[in-house]
Structure formats: C-alpha cells, structure tokens
Amino acid sequence: MKAMFRVREAAEILGISVPKMRNDIRNQRVGVHRLGRLILISEADLEKYVNQGYHPAIPSEVRKNEI
C-alpha cells in the first residue's frame, strides 16, 4: 500500500502552511481521499501537486527524499 498523509503531514513535507494546503484541497489543486471526515493525501497525489507547479519550487533532492 502506498503512503497516505494527513493534511498537516502533507503540508509539513512540502514546507507550506496547513491553511494553504487546505485552500488548495478546496480548490481541487491536490487530489484527496476522504474517509468520513478524515482527509488523506496519497504519495502520488503529492507528487502530482508538486509537478503541476501549484507548490513553490523545492529542490528535487528534497522531493525525492521526502515524497
């Protein structure tokens, strides 16, 4: 099974604020999986989010190590 992250965890990995992450989820810039009220973001969805340019540029070495 691929890694799944809570909103706070995903924001920390990407180095952005939780409100920014939630705003991008609300605007459908990042894919999510909902289990009731729980919002999870898959590793693949985080990669797409970064590669689509919605997230501020981070060094590729960090991306490969973190995601």
What predicted TM-score, i.e. pTM, was given to this entire model? Answer: 0.74
pLDDT tens track for 17-67: 999 999 999 999 999 999 999 999 999 999 999 888 766 655 444 445 554
Domains for the chain: give ranges and CATH numbers: 4-66 (1.10.1660)
**Of 12, 24, 21, 28, residue with least CA distance to 62:** 12
Residue 35 φ/ψ, nearest 5 degrees = -120, 90
d(CA 61, CA 35): 32
Do residues 40 and 33 make contact, with C-beta atoms less than 8 angstroms apart?
A: yes
Q: DSSP letters of 16-35?
A: --HHHHHHHHHTTSS--EEE
State yes or no: pLDDT of 6 exceeds 60.
yes
